Chains A and B, each alone.
Chain A
Amino acid sequence: MTAILTIIIVLFVAVALWQMVKIFDLAQVGTTNTQIADDHDNKINGYLMIGFLIFIYLITILSFWYLGDLPLMSNAASEHGSKVDNLMIISMIVIFVVQTITQFLLHYFAFKYRGEKGKKAFFYADNNTLEFIWTVIPVIVLAGLIIYGLFTWNDIMNIDEDDDPMVIELYAQQFNWKARYSGNDNVLGKANVRLIDIDRANILGVDEEDPNAEDDVIVTELHLPVGKPVLFKMRSQDVLHSAYMPHFRAQMNCVPGMVTQFGFTPTVTTADMRQTPEIIDKVKNINELRVERSAEVEASGQELIYEFDYLLLCNKICGKSHYNMQMKIIVETQEEFDAWMEEQTTFPNSLIN
């Protein structure tokens, strides 16, 4: 499919090229060759400007049509996510309107006022009223966007301790993620890379002396109970990483030497998300594509049929395998979560003595 598309596009481009050279050659007949645009050139390029305007609109429409099923503008799986999505949609509408109008004016004027011999341009150097209008309008629109944006930002970044969020550490290293649950006391045991002891399997450098660490649980798959606020404390042991959870509209860098944080409340379980029409469509689409190139997929050791899961991706360049550093996130009911947690080994028990 892609190959055919490629060939068609290349053919179109070739034909377009050939046509354009022909047009330009024709335009040359009977003119003195000064390499300065004459009325012919002005006319042809004026019309091409209108063609280009249509091309811009077309590529906008096509992009929205084929790629506009945007998981980032609907379908948020966290409480603050829908607020982000609303702001995103409002910003997109503003952008879309301004883009459509200004591109029209620019290209239409380029067509309308294409040069002709003997015509004289309109001497128009200044107009304070106009300048005032197009200073004030952006000011008003932007003031609205700034205020809306700042309220949303503060809402996201200010963690309300009264909600009693579940504290989880996200730990990054080249090239994988670990999560450490704080256990019943909801306090993480102290940790530092200087305490890492590979021989004893203390890979996160958790302080064994700290009583808070006694009920900590270290895992490689992140489970979250639905509807419960979570506060992530991020650490990295080597280089910068970024914990990016696109479905939850969440991202924060993991910085060696400091602890960063981000909190949100997941609102849709993995099971429910799999049943939403958007995800069903997306998964169906992906699986059709995977079946098409099944030999390749199986050769890479992946399972052929894809099932949706939330992912935590690394989104800050971190070295060779940056592209392949992710952790599965499972959002489930409190009961399922408790049952899963029950099976996990606490930190002291995971050590090799």
Chain B
Amino acid sequence: MSATADTHGHDDHDVHHHKETFITKYIFSTDHKMIAKQYLITGTVMGIIGILMSIMFRMQIAWPEKPNVLFEALLGKWAPDGVMDADIYLALVTIHGTIMVFFVLTAGLSGTFSNLLIPLQIGARDMASGFLNMVSYWLFFISCVIMIGSLYVEAGPAAAGWTIYPPLSALPMASSGSGMGMTLWLISMAIFIASQLIGSLNYIVTVINLRTKGMSMTRLPLTIWAFFVTAIIGTVSFPVLLSAALLLIMDRSFGTSFFLSDIFIQGEVLHYQGGSPVLFEHLFWFLGHPEVYIVILPAMGLVSEIMASSSRKPIFGYRAMIASILAIAFLSTIVWGHHMFVSGMNPFLGSVFTFTTLLIAIPSAVKAFNWITTIWKGNLQMNPAMLFSIGFVSTFITGGLTGIILGDSALDINVHDTYFVIAHFHLVMGISALYGMFAGIYHWYPKMFGRMMNKNLGYLHFWITAVCAYGVFFPMHFIGMAGLPRRYYSNSSFPLFDDLANTNVIITIFAIVGGIAQIIYLYNFFISIFYGKKAEQNPWKSTTLEWTTPVKHVHGNWPGAIPHVYRWSYDYSKPGHDVDFVPQNVPLMEGEEELQH
């Protein structure tokens, strides 16, 4: 296949280069590096909105039904006299979840780094189809616009939780957000899924077909393995969500009964007969669970790469890392039922899903131990990217361990849908994936923008975020174990949970401080694009191919021929070499043996 890449010489790229206008270069670009930046900036904007929403509903939880200037300013008629309305509280948690899971941590993370790194690290001129890549981004952009647009609907945006279980999401009389707001949510998601599918197919084809000469699958950096497997999981599971969304649209608009049956609401019996909401739950979680791995696997890939490079050591257990990625990917598709232990499905199914779910702890443990061994006896370069990578492993362990409780059906009965769940998944896939994304941004910023981010602001950003993340989510385990259900607009309408009020205030303060700390990052990110220190070609002294490309982006990535690859991507501090890294395009020395990895 490498022959294809080679014949795709750079001459014809120069021709494209001359024809570039502002529009083809910055807006409808087919260059993977530009598309990666577009994904990143769009994801960042969505992230700001998502985090702002979380701070607003955290304020409502801490100071229930108190007037708040922030609400008055941002929520308008949904916060009469500055007091947040109960419907808009649910809308905020719904849209926060949707935006963070799909728009930031799926598209923003995977979209940015798959696009940036797949061609650069495998030695390809661009994605297999630059045009489809562009279509994928613009579909994503349209879905963002529709989702944001749904915030301006008269009756309010979708408010049925990000899992949009029917009948709540199907019946406008059950929730004011289930009218136009939900329609727009479903349309936005359908377009988003199309975008993800096109993107994923492109990633898969590119990795399989466009690797440069010598880049065998076992010489690929772990980033590429992670993106590749993520794209496969996405291709397998996203279509199922699309079908669930389409069936829900049919129930809502055309009177079918896929998910609805025997409903009496607001004084009348509805005609629905024979459907089941449990079916929707199965379809939703068939994507919904793999989705958390779609979010976390790219972060794992980025962190593996950064940890090796920053430790000046090979990643420990390269093959075990690949095997565990594959094992996690496989298991992720057969565990969805652990979200449904108390949904009314057959208890025997609960037993099966408990078994498969707890198995995931094994490859996860292997990964965690391998990361720890990677930094053992290293020469750790504490760049902000490395700090976020260490932070990733820390929150991944803390959050992952409580999965042992939630995955155990007998224990889940009691903590299901409480704050314990919120603490668990925010640490293990929310904060962890965000850390992975930040690590990736700090690390590959020189590649994306040709400039360096300020490291001291990076340190400040990391340490405040790290303290606040634990400050927010660690105590949540305990209020969850005290029985506090999630998605409660107010916890003081009956006295049972009054003793948790102070803890909720502390959590909110940590959330506000942590949210404000992100301003440091935003400042650093946007200012450095223009005023950052100019980057060297290979600032972190890494071995992978992206650092062999010139700092200034060129169409086709390498001005000359594509480099060939002679070794795996983790030859750091290899004995017998003077320097502590040997790039992949350096041929083996005489008598040097490639590691049997």
Give A residues with C-beta under 8 Å from B: 1-2, 5-6, 9-10, 13, 17, 20-21, 24-25, 27-28, 33-37, 41-42, 45-46, 48-49, 52, 55-56, 59-60, 63-64, 66-68, 70-73, 83-84, 87-88, 91-92, 94-95, 98-99, 102-103, 105-107, 109-110, 113-116, 119-127, 130-131, 134-135, 138-139, 142, 145-146, 149-150, 152-154, 156-158, 173-174, 192-194, 196, 198, 205, 234, 237-240, 242, 244, 246-247, 249-253, 255-258, 260, 282, 285-286, 289-290, 300, 302, 306, 311, 313-324, 326
State the 7 A-B residue pairs at the shortest beta-carbon distance, nearest first.
A257-B261, A246-B483, A157-B347, A67-B478, A35-B452, A260-B344, A122-B377
Closest to B568 in A: A125
From the candidates A33, A52, A91, A105, name the one contacting B372 in the complex (CB within 8 A): A105
Please report the total number of B residues contacting A with Cβ < 8 Å. Answer: 140
Q: Across the interface, do A300 and B492 meet the contact criterion of CB distance under 8 Å?
A: yes
With contact pairs A67-B478, A139-B362 given, residues A237 and B264 touching in the complex (Cβ less than 8 Å): yes
Cβ–Cβ < 8 Å partners of A114 in chain B: 380, 382
Q: Across the interface, do A95 and B401 meet the contact criterion of CB distance under 8 Å?
A: yes
Compute how far the CA of A199 lies from the CA of B377 in the bound complex, rounded to whole angstroms: 78
Cβ–Cβ < 8 Å partners of A152 in chain B: 410
Compute how far the CA of A242 lies from the CA of B513 in the bound complex, rounded to whole angstroms: 34
Q: Across the interface, do B533 and A34 meet the contact criterion of CB distance under 8 Å?
A: yes
From the candidates B375, B398, B415, B539, name the one contacting A109 in the complex (CB within 8 A): B375
Cβ–Cβ < 8 Å partners of B580 in chain A: 120-121
Q: Across the interface, do A113 and B380 meet the contact criterion of CB distance under 8 Å?
A: yes
Q: Is the contact region of chain A dominated by helix, strand, or loop, or is it mixed?
A: helix
Cβ–Cβ < 8 Å partners of B171 in chain A: 238-239
Given contacts A35-B453, A45-B459, A153-B347, 18 further A-B contacts (CB under 8 A): A13-B464, A70-B482, A84-B410, A92-B405, A106-B371, A106-B375, A113-B376, A124-B376, A150-B355, A193-B264, A253-B342, A256-B167, A256-B260, A256-B277, A257-B261, A286-B498, A311-B494, A318-B168
Q: What are 22 A-B pairs at a CB distance below 8 A? A: A36-B455, A37-B455, A56-B470, A63-B474, A103-B397, A110-B380, A121-B311, A121-B379, A138-B362, A150-B351, A150-B355, A173-B264, A194-B262, A238-B174, A238-B265, A239-B166, A240-B277, A255-B277, A255-B343, A282-B499, A286-B499, A289-B498
Give the Cβ gap from A196 to chain B, nearest Cβ, in Å.
5
Compute how far the CA of A324 lies from the CA of B398 in the bound complex, rounded to whole angstroms: 32
Cβ–Cβ < 8 Å partners of A55 in chain B: 467, 470
With contact pairs A102-B368, A145-B404, A321-B86 given, residues A239 and B174 touching in the complex (Cβ less than 8 Å): yes
Compute how far the CA of A20 lies from the CA of B572 in the bound complex, rounded to whole angstroms: 32
Compute how far the CA of A158 lies from the CA of B369 in the bound complex, rounded to whole angstroms: 39
Q: Across the interface, do A240 and B168 meet the contact criterion of CB distance under 8 Å?
A: yes
Closest to B508 in A: A6
Compute how far the CA of A319 lies from the CA of B165 in the bound complex, rounded to whole angstroms: 11
- Residue B58 CB within 8 A of the other chain: no
Give the Cβ gap from A314 to chain B, nearest Cβ, in Å.
8
Compute how far the CA of A84 lies from the CA of B343 in the bound complex, rounded to whole angstroms: 19
Q: Across the interface, do A20 and B459 meet the contact criterion of CB distance under 8 Å?
A: yes
Q: Across the interface, do A246 and B414 meet the contact criterion of CB distance under 8 Å?
A: yes
With contact pairs A2-B505, A240-B165 given, residues A142 and B276 touching in the complex (Cβ less than 8 Å): no
With contact pairs A125-B595, A240-B277, A322-B487 given, residues A285 and B380 touching in the complex (Cβ less than 8 Å): no
Compute how far the CA of A66 lies from the CA of B429 in the bound complex, rounded to whole angstroms: 27
Cβ–Cβ < 8 Å partners of B415 in chain A: 72
Q: Across the interface, do B379 and A113 meet the contact criterion of CB distance under 8 Å?
A: yes
Closest to B580 in A: A120
Cβ–Cβ < 8 Å partners of A282 in chain B: 499
- Residue B489 CB within 8 A of the other chain: yes
Cβ–Cβ < 8 Å partners of A240 in chain B: 165, 167-168, 277
Cβ–Cβ < 8 Å partners of B344 in chain A: 234, 252-253, 255, 258, 260
Q: Across the interface, do A131 and B269 meet the contact criterion of CB distance under 8 Å?
A: no
With contact pairs A67-B478, A253-B344 given, residues A244 and B573 touching in the complex (Cβ less than 8 Å): no
Compute how far the CA of A185 lies from the CA of B509 in the bound complex, rounded to whole angstroms: 56
From the candidates A35, A72, A121, A138, name the one contacting B414 in the complex (CB within 8 A): A72
From the candidates A17, A46, A253, name the one contacting B464 in the complex (CB within 8 A): A17
Q: Across the interface, do A120 and B312 meet the contact criterion of CB distance under 8 Å?
A: yes
Q: Across the interface, do B269 and A317 meet the contact criterion of CB distance under 8 Å?
A: no
Compute how far the CA of A85 lies from the CA of B467 in the bound complex, rounded to whole angstroms: 31
